[in-house]
């Protein structure tokens, strides 16, 4: 054997076996280099590696074959992974990797068990690599599902339920499904449950999108298994993700933790081109005033979808791209209105960020973010049109700065919220991802897995449907699809101002329910008490909290009314209403309740913070109350704007293609979708551990 041939064989052995394992490679026997046969052998592609360590994924050089789908190949506690179910996970991992167009990838049209894996030195072939990912993917989902049943969600430290009262007043009441802390196990929200319940239909729809006649055909051709195995894979994979999502909502590393993380990884960030001098992201609020559309505009002004130079001088024309053509007089009227709005905000509302957001919500013609108080988060330089970009990224810019800038789209009133160093934002995101991964790895550590690699047999399939295709989309603005129920009496030791929450806290508890739903973030009563204790007085809660504080939390009051017909119409239109009640049906003194919606039978669904009413009021057993029972002693109603479930300008949850480019030159992702995408990517990559 020549030295050159011996070196070539040794190198191939090391690459195929991984980490220097001594495995044989099935290839032509070495011969003299002058032999034409041996020259042909040198040009052959890598072949299936020999069997390796029976305790890891290299156990078999090739796992392709025909075997019983019911054979158990792995266990976590009493939970079992069969060959049929593994086939679904395996081909989903193959398809997901393929869809991501990674730089290092195999030839997916050739057998994966004959191709050397170039991204993981612990395996020999790409088949072994994807098998490793598939087993890890099932393991992660299964461990998370077991954690969900054993641990559930963490609860507010101040939460102290009276189980005897629960037994008396809340047994078999529908509202308990939405009661904070009622179950010790993880409870799916209604959108999660609906997605899992509809998986059979979802898979049928997915099959059509992928070009298959049915879900059954897709299961057989794309996964090499049965439709039941594919459904079981999708159910468990999603359940684990839904639990992880619920645990990750409130992950918030401290500033010290982020700075320390970046310092530890600083050389790696520098290699990626991220340094402490990489610039900043900015946050702003924006109000757009358009000539001819500003409040009190003259009705003589007209708008159209195309420019027409023959129109009268006083007319205003708005092209399909949002650009305005009008007289200088019309521009001056627009400028004047913008100045009036800014002056009124400064003089009448004390010039806070929250009141600026409320002004944007009520007055802006920027349809992309009006719902969200004109907020834009983490804008990068160059993402805004030049006139706005230069102001926002001025090095001298300070939080609270305002200005009015005229562009071809209208007059822009800007409020500068603040800026974040790019290095800090990237480190914070990466640290959050690490914290999310620690949740997944912690679940795996708590639930060891046993694998019989020798029993694994993988079916042949097309691998055209990835894990991302079946994963719940994680609707970023629907953490609370319904108003959650908080009870005053569950926080007996909590003080609201100088009084006990349990006896004087119906208003602040109603505010907690309202804010949790409309802001889509968990605001428990103790958190609200700590934040708004100044609204507490001897007889309960100052109702001005429902007027002043919503924009601080990210939602908006539409109006307060004393007219029952106005309140009822708002409920019919789907608005949430807070009602204050006096002596009568609901209370012996005064009481706040949340009117959530009108039921199909015309009754009103109510969230009531007083546990004793669930025993005292008969109709509370079903949470269905007549409008007369609410209006008989109701004296005031706060009506709120609709919950924000999408930001129109967001490339993920909105429809930016339908919005004129009045602000942005590049795609924008809202801050809640950015968080959702990070959770999603962490889970999809959990199989890499």
Instruction: Encode pLDDT of 641-678 as tens digits.
Output: 999 999 999 999 999 998 888 889 999 999 999 999 99
Give the whole-angstrom CA distance, residue 513 versus residue 403: 36
**Residues 609, 488: contact at Cβ < 8 Å?**
yes
The answer on pLDDT for 482 being more than 60 is yes
CB atoms within 10 A of CB 335: 17
- Residues 6 or more apart whose Cβ sits within 8 Å of residue 630: 579, 581, 585, 593, 595, 604, 606
- Cα–Cα distance, 446 to 412 (Å, whole number): 54
Three-state secondary structure call for residue 407: strand
Check whether 561 has a pLDDT greater than 60.
yes
Average confidence (pLDDT) over 485-494: 96
Q: Is the pLDDT of residue 27 over 50?
A: no
The torsion angle over the Cα atoms of residues 519, 521, 523 and 524, rounded to 10 degrees, is 140
Q: Where are the beta strands (DSSP E) in 221-363?
A: 280-289, 316-318, 324-326
Tokens, residue 160: 């102290």
Per-residue model confidence as pLDDT tens digits over 195-237: 999 999 999 999 999 999 999 999 999 999 999 999 999 999 9
Mean pLDDT of 15-40: 35
Give the pLDDT confidence of 32-53 residue by residue, as tens digits: 333 333 333 333 455 899 999 9
Chain mean position to CA 27: 50
Distance (Å, whole) CA 402 – CA 129 = 55
Q: Which of left, alpha, beta for 20 (phi over 0: left; psi -120 to 50: alpha)?
A: left
Residues facing 84 on adjacent strands: none
Residue count (the chain): 689
Q: Which pLDDT value is given to residue 306? A: 38
Does 307 have pLDDT greater than 70? no
Higher pLDDT, 474 or 258: 258
In the CATH hierarchy, which top-level class contains the domain 276-422? alpha beta
Mean pLDDT throughout 528-534? Answer: 97
Query: Rounded distance, CA 27 to CA 49, Å?
Result: 9
- Contact present, 248 and 474 (Cβ < 8 Å): no
The pLDDT of residue 397 is above 60 = yes
Task: Look at residue 350 in the predicted model and tell me its pLDDT.
Answer: 76
% of the chain surpassing 70 pLDDT: 90
Q: What integer is the mean pLDDT of 386-414? A: 97
Average pLDDT, the chain: 90
Find the range with the poorest average confidence among 7-21, 209-223, 553-567. 7-21
The count of other CB atoms within 10 Å of the CB of residue 394 is 12
On whether the CB atoms of residues 236 and 105 are closer than 8 A, the answer is no
The per-residue DSSP string of 28-95 comes to: PPP--TTSHHHHHHHTSPP-PBPP--TTSTTS-S--BS---TT-EEEEETTEEEEHHHHHHHHHHHHH
Question: Is residue 531 predicted with pLDDT exceeding 80?
Answer: yes
pLDDT digits (tens, 9 = 90+) for 93-136: 999 999 998 999 999 999 999 999 999 999 999 999 999 999 99
CA atoms within 13 A on the CB side of 203: 26
**Residue 651: its pLDDT value, please?**
95
Cβ atoms 453, 54 nearer than 8 A? yes
Instruction: Provide CATH code, domain 488-640.
Output: 3.90.70.10
CA distance 349 to 371: 20
- Residue 514 scores a pLDDT above 60: yes
Domain positions in the chain: 276-422, 488-640
Cβ atoms of residues 536 and 499 within 8 Å: yes
pLDDT at 385 over 90: yes
pLDDT 10s digits, 242-263? 999 999 999 999 999 999 999 9
Please provide residue 124's backbone torsions phi and psi, each rounded to the nearest 5 degrees: -100, -55
Contact 595, 578 (CB under 8 A): yes
List pLDDT tens digits, range 133-163.
999 999 999 999 999 999 999 999 999 999 9
Report the alpha-carbon distance of residue 258 to residue 266 in Å, rounded.
12
CA 67 vs CA 125, 138, 479, 506, 638: distances in Å: 21, 20, 43, 63, 65
Number of Cβ within a 10 Å radius of residue 119:
14
Read off the pLDDT band of 312 (50, 70, 90).
very low
More confident of the two residues 49 and 2: 49
Q: What is the pLDDT of residue 296?
A: 59
Query: Which residues in 492-516 are b (16+ Cβ under 10 Å) and which e?
Result: eebbbbebbbbebbbbbbbbbbbbb
CA 190 to the chain's CA centroid: 16
**Could you give the CA distance from residue 86 to residue 145 in angstroms, rounded to a whole number?**
17
Phi-psi region of 474 (alpha: psi -120 to 50; beta: other; left: phi over 0): left
Spatial neighbors of 98 by CB under 8 A, at least 6 apart, are 105, 108, 463, 466
**pLDDT at residue 1 is higher than 80:** no
Name which of 287-296, 357-366, 477-486, 545-554 the model is least confident about. 287-296
Give the whole-angstrom CA distance, residue 601 versus residue 93.
Answer: 47
Q: What is the pLDDT of residue 522?
A: 97
- 126-150 vs 227-248: helix crossing angle, rounded to 10: 60
Which of the four pLDDT bands, split at 50, 70 and 90, describes residue 687? confident
- The pLDDT assigned to 394 comes to 97
Exposure string for 244-282, b = 16+ CB within 10 A, e = fewer: bbbbbeebebeeeebeebbeebeeebeeeebeeebebbb
Closest CA to 185 of 150, 235, 140, 145: 150
Range scoring the smallest mean pLDDT among 432-441, 617-626, 669-678:
617-626
Cα–Cα distance, 221 to 186 (Å, whole number)? 35
- Shortest CA distance to 471 belongs to which of 650, 215, 683? 683
């Amino acid at each position: 054997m020549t030295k050159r041939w011996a070196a070539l064989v040794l190198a191939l052995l090391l690459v195929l076996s991984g980490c220097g394992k001594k495995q044989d490679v099935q290839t032509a026997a070495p011969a003299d280099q002058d032999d034409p046969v041996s020259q042909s052998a040198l040009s052959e592609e890598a072949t299936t590696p020999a069997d390796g360590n029976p305790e890891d994924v290299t156990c078999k050089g090739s796992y392709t074959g025909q075997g019983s789908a019911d054979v158990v190949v792995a266990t976590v506690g009493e939970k079992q992974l069969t060959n049929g179910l593994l086939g679904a996970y395996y081909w989903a991992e193959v398809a997901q990797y393929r869809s991501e167009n990674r730089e290092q990838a195999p030839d997916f049209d050739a057998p994966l068990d004959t191709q050397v894996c170039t991204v993981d030195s612990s395996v020999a072939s790409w088949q072994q690599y994807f098998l490793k990912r598939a087993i890890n993917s099932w393991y992660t989902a299964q461990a998370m599902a077991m954690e969900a049943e054993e641990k559930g969600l963490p609860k507010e430290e101040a939460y102290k339920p009276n189980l005897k009262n629960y037994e008396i007043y809340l047994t078999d009441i529908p509202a308990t499904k939405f009661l904070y802390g009622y179950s010790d196990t993880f409870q799916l929200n209604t959108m999660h449950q609906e997605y899992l319940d509809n998986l059979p239909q979802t898979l049928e729809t997915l099959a059509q999108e992928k070009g298959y006649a049915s879900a059954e055909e897709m299961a057989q051709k794309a996964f090499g298994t049965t439709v039941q195995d594919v459904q079981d894979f999708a159910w468990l994979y999603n359940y684990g993700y839904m639990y992880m999502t619920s645990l990750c909502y409130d992950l918030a590393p401290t500033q010290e933790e982020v700075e320390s993380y970046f310092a530890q990884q600083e050389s790696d960030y520098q290699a990626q081109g991220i340094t402490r001098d990489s610039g900043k992201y900015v946050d702003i609020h924006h109000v757009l005033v358009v000539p001819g559309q500003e409040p009190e505009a003259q009705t003589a002004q007209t708008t159209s979808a195309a420019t027409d130079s023959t129109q009268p001088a006083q007319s205003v024309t708005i092209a399909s791209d949002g650009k305005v053509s009008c007289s200088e007089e019309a521009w001056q009227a627009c400028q004047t209105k913008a100045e009036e709005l800014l002056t009124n905000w400064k003089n009448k509302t004390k010039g806070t960020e929250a009141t600026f957001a409320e002004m944007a919500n009520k007055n802006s013609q920027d349809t992309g973010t009006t719902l969200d108080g004109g907020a834009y988060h983490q804008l990068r330089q160059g993402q805004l049109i030049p006139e706005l970009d230069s102001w926002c990224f001025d090095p001298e810019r300070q939080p609270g700065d305002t200005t009015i800038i005229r562009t071809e789209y209208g007059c822009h009133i800007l409020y500068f919220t603040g800026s974040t160093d790019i290095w800090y934002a990237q480190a914070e995101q990466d640290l959050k991802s690490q914290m999310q991964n620690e949740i997944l790895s912690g679940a795996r550590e708590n639930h060891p897995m046993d694998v019989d690699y020798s029993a694994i047999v993988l079916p042949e399939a097309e691998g055209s449907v990835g894990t991302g295709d079946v994963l719940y989309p994680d609707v970023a603005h629907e953490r609370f699809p319904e108003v959650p129920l908080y009870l005053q009496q569950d926080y007996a030791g909590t003080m609201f101002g100088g009084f006990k929450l349990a006896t004087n806290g119906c208003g602040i508890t109603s505010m907690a329910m309202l804010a949790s739903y409309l802001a889509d973030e968990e605001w428990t009563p103790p958190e609200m008490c700590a934040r708004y204790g100044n609204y507490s007085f001897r007889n309960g809660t100052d109702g001005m909290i429902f007027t002043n504080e919503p924009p601080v939390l990210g939602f908006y009051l539409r109006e307060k009314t004393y007219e029952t017909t106005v309140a009822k119409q708002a409920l019919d239109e789907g608005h949430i209403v807070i009602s204050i009640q006096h002596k009568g049906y609901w209370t012996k003194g005064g009481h706040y309740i949340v009117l959530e919606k009108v039921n199909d039978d015309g009754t009103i669904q109510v969230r009531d913070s007083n546990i004793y009413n669930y025993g005292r009021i008969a109709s509370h057993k079903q949470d269905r109350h007549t409008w007369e029972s609410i209006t008989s002693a109701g004296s005031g109603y706060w009506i709120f704007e609709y919950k924000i479930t999408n930001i129109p300008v967001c490339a993920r949850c909105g429809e930016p293609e339908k919005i004129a480019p009045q602000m942005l030159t590049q795609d924008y992702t809202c801050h809640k979708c950015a968080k959702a995408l990070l959770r999603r990517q962490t889970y999809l990559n959990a199989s890499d551990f």
